[in-house]
Every structure is written in C-alpha cells, then in structure tokens.
Amino acid sequence: MIEFKNVELRYNDFVAMSDLNLTVNEGEFFTFLGPSGCGKTTTLRALVGFLKPYAGNIVVAGNDITDLPVEKREIGMVFQSYALFPTMNVYENIAFGLKVKKLSKKEIHEKVMAVASKIDLSEEQLYKNVASLSGGQQQRVALARAIVLEPKILCLDEPLSNLDAKLRVGLREELKRLQRTLNITTLYVTHDQEEALTLSDRIAVFNNGRIEQVGTPYEIYNKSASEFVCDFIGDINRITPRLIEKINEQTTGRRFKTDREAFVRIERIFGEVKQNYASIKGKVLDKEYNGLYTKYTYEVEGQKLKNIEKNDGLISHELNDMVDLFINPDDIMQF
C-alpha cells in the first residue's frame, strides 16, 4: 500500500532520515515509534507531502506520489495540536474538506452527521465553537475532520500526547475500534511505547535518522533487533560481562559473548525455582510496592538487577534478604 523506496529526507543540510525503505500494508495499523528528533514525524510529513524527499520515491497503491502536491494526495492527518480552525464551529471544521470537494449541501450534511455519530459527537456539540470544547472533544473533532473525507491513508501525529492519562487510554481503545471498522491504513507517530504496543499491527522503531527494527509488537518486544530497541521498549536489565560469565558457566548449549553487555527484561527474572534456568544469588537492595506488583532491586555480582513479582502472596522478600534468582538463557538478548 505505502512504500518508501531509498528515501532520504533533509532539512537544508541536516539529514533527518537516510536510506529509508519501508512497506506498509493495506488496512494495517502501523506505528512509527521513537524518541523525539529520531525522524518519525519527518517521515510522516514526507508521506503527507509537507516535505519533499531529497532522494528516493514514495509510492502509494502503486502510484509514485513523490511529486504530488499535498492537497492531491488524499491522506487524512490528525495533528498533535489538532489544528482546528478557531474561526469555525465544529460542524464547519468537519465540513471543511467536503466543501473543498464541492459536495452539495445535502451530501455534506449527511456525511458530517454520519461521522459525528461514529465518534460520539452530539448534535449540540456540532454547533459549538471549537475553543469551547475540552481536549478530548477537540481530538475527536480533529479525527472526524480527517476521516469524513474517507482518505486511503490516515496519519496521526502524537494525537494523544496532549490528553490526561485516563482519557488517553479510553481514546486509544476507541481509535483502535474505529480503525478496525473503517479498515483504513493508519500511520501512527508516537514516542509512547505502551501506545505503540497496544495499538499497532506493526511497529517501526526509529532512531537517529534510521529505522532500527520493523515488526509486530511481539517481535519488537521479545526479539528486539538492537540494543536501542531493546532499551527503548519496556524495562530492561543490563548484564555486565562478569555476570554473563557466571551465567555461561551454568548453561549448556548457548554461550554469550563476554566482551559486551547482554540484556534481559525485568519480568523475565524469576524469584522461584525454574528448571534448566541459570541461577544466581542476589541481595535485596530496594523494594517498590505498587499494588499490582512489587519491583525489587538486587545486587548481583557487583551489579544491580531488577525484577517484578506479582503481589499474589507467594513471594515476598525483605531488604538484605539473600535470594535465588533464575534466568532463562533464551530470554537473554545480546547484540
């Protein structure tokens, strides 16, 4: 559906994205994930047409759109700031693109009403000034305004970042549901790994002007392709060569290199006995009770390790307890 072919993006002399090759499939919910300044928004803007690639091509549905002006691309976009037109009311904001297309008044009305019901905007709200809406409602209007045009592609640039945590979770679910029902190819830019994991069919992790890894949320999380991805997503323990040696001693089969660090996710270190796992001893340095779980920090072989235990009443350590910890060598990632 969308193909970036050897795309290079520049701001003047600054290379924002180099040699980008990426394919997004039809109907996919695809997320660009990465820290700020990594090039994800730049890439999105290149797709929408705000930025001309310095080199390479962008192909949508088999057509090269590299030189197509923004207004001809029929890509819907929701901005981080929503960019609602302050001089128009909600209805006029949603109807804007339809008016551009010169649809009849009747058609416009029907479409606006249809989309309003889809995203839970009441008729009363439609005639309100956009400035008088709450953040969540503004966000809905911005979304409605984009999808009412039935674009082939929907781009969302950090659409939830201005909302409070609870609203964010709620809207996240709604967004996913909407995307499924509309079956619209969606590109989603975020720096929030949780958002990326919950929403996406596939994720591209951006770092420093290139893509580190493309994969399903499961692959990204469990089979991180690089140290960056591994570190950026989820909570991770860094394992020093000294501890690696210790683990190597206990495991048959797999041997880890001892000239660099290795990584293991904190939920993959267990406090109960596991067969065939490497076993190490740790001293409890700190515990953080969190209701659902407790996060422990141990000292192991001169370094710190963290794990979490469900608060199911089975395991509970006190400070300075010596504890046996178990790690599955298969959970250890080394790059």
Binding site for another protein (CB under 8 A): 48-50, 52, 67, 69-72, 74-77, 79-83, 85-88, 96-97, 100-101, 131, 133-135, 138, 142, 145-146, 149, 162
Local structure of 331: helix, strand or coil: helix
Nearer to another protein, 92 or 201 (CB): 92
Q: How far apart are the C-alpha atoms of 327 and 275, rounded to whole Å?
A: 10
Report DSSP letters for 189-232, one per residue. EES-HHHHHHH-SEEEEEETTEEEEEE-HHHHHHS-SSHHHHHH
* Amino acid present at 203: I
Local structure of 311: helix, strand or coil: coil
Q: How far apart are the C-alpha atoms of 305 and 287, rounded to whole Å?
A: 12
Nearer to another protein, 7 or 211 (CB): 7
Please tell me the number of Cα atoms within 13 Å of 313 on its side-chain side: 0
Nearer to another protein, 69 or 302 (CB): 69
Q: How far is the CB of 50 from another protein (least distance, A)?
A: 6
* Amino acid present at 56: G
Q: How far is the CB of 26 from another protein (least distance, A)?
A: 20
Please tell me the number of Cα atoms within 13 Å of 124 on its side-chain side: 2
Nearer to another protein, 131 or 319 (CB): 131
Q: How far is the CB of 161 from another protein (least distance, A)?
A: 10
b/e code 150-182 from CB counts within 10 Å (16+ = b): ebbbbbbbbbbeebeeeebeebbebbeebbeee
Nearer to another protein, 95 or 220 (CB): 95
Q: How far is the CB of 162 from another protein (least distance, A)?
A: 5
Q: What is the 3-state secondary structure (H, E, C) of 43-70?
A: HHHHHHCCCCCCEEEEEECCEECCCCCH
Nearer to another protein, 41 or 307 (CB): 41
Nearer to another protein, 36 or 87 (CB): 87
Please tell me the number of Cα atoms within 13 Å of 148 on its side-chain side: 31
Nearer to another protein, 17 or 78 (CB): 78
Q: How far apart are the C-alpha atoms of 89 and 92, rounded to whole Å?
A: 5
Give the tokens for residue 175.
Answer: 């967004």
Q: How far is CA 197 from the centre of its chain?
A: 6
